[in-house]
Amino acid sequence: MKTQIIFAALLVASTGISLRAADNDPLPDANTVVATMLQHDAQRRTLADGYRGMRQYVLENDRMHKQAKLVARVEAEGNGAKHFEIIEEDGWKAAGKHVFRKMLASEEEASSPQERPKTQVAPQNYDFRMVGAETIGGRSTYAIDVTPKRNEERLFAGRIWIDAQDYALVRVEGKPAKNPSFWIKNVHFVHTYEKSGPLWYPSSTESVTDVRVFGTTKVTINYFDYAPRTSGISETASAKKLQQPLNK
């Protein structure tokens, strides 16, 4: 019995040492994590010929006591190009015309194969710095600060969180690299993603804009019914295809 107790104590001690060693493992380089994410993104795009889904946009302005809603269908081609169809609108008409429609048009333009490389979270557009490891929604992620290389409205300054297993974006938070207008004091947004099968889709976006005349305007986007345009994806085969070791 005494021998068993000693053996158990040694096992616990050695396990503790192993865990501490794992906890103290150095984090991978931020550029390596981003490069792996881009590789996995390219592989995920081969699993389906694009995707389709629905979005609900809600705009609220307390100072003006105004609210507007819009529901749109989105369809993305295999090359990432997006196309939107407005299904219904309600509320403040000016917001639908000058905010929602401009948002859809801007995103559709930025998603084209010609424009997408200019805004992609990639080394040609950003510098990256590893911040640490965090848990989001029960999943381990790498937190990385991003600094835009150009002062452009479609780039942003902030932080991204990349899933440590799937190497997919989990969360993006920040502000535009360039103020969109003199009338806008500041903008802050949070964009989240969630996993569905082997793929990752947008989950929600919250944007708060402080406008000089109209005050604070909040826009919330909820994403739902997202699915690949091609059915019959094998989750097991897809998971195996996406499991690649990270070169630290």
3-state secondary structure the chain: CHHHHHHHHHHHHHHHHHHHHHHCCCCCCHHHHHHHHHHHHHHHHCCCCCEEEEEEEEEEECCCCEEEEEEEEEEECCCCCEEEEEEEEEECHHHHHHHHHHHHHHHHHHCCCCCHHHHCCCCCCEEEEEEEEEEECCEEEEEEEEEECCCCCCCEEEEEEEECCCCCEEEEEEEECCCCCCCEEEEEEEEEEEEECCEEEEEEEEEEEEECCCEEEEEEEEEEEEEECCCCCCHHHHHHHHCCCCCC
Token pair belonging to 93: 């008409």
**Predicted confidence (pLDDT) at residue 36 exceeds the cutoff of 60:** yes
Q: Answer whether residue 9 is part of any domain.
A: no
CA dihedral for 98, 100, 104, 106, sign (positive or negative): positive
226 belongs to a structural domain: yes
What is the structure's pLDDT at 151?
95
Give the structural domain span for 153: 28-242
| 205 vs 4 pLDDT, higher one | 205
Does residue 17 belong to any structural domain of this protein?
no
User: Phi and psi (nearest 5°) for 104?
Assistant: -65, -45
For residue 6, is pLDDT > 70? no
Mean pLDDT of 112-130: 97
Q: For 171-227, what is each residue's pLDDT tens digit?
A: 999 999 987 776 677 899 999 999 999 999 999 999 999 887 778 999 999 999 999
Which of 242, 179, 164 has its CA nearest to residue 210? 179
What sign has the CA pseudo-torsion 202, 108, 72, 59? positive
pLDDT of residue 21: 36
pLDDT at site 23: 53
How many domains does the chain fold into? 1
Predicted model pTM: 0.82
**CATH code: domain of residue 88:** 2.50.20
| 1 in any annotated domain | no
The arithmetic mean of pLDDT across residues 240-245, rounded, is 43
In a domain, 155, yes or no: yes
Q: Is residue 21 part of a domain?
A: no
Residue 248 inside a domain? The answer is: no
Q: For the residues 72-83, what does the mean pLDDT come to?
A: 96
- Tell me whether residue 3 is in a domain: no
Q: Which two tokens stand for residue 79?
A: 């090359």
Out of 14-23, 143-152, 155-164, 177-186, least confident range: 14-23
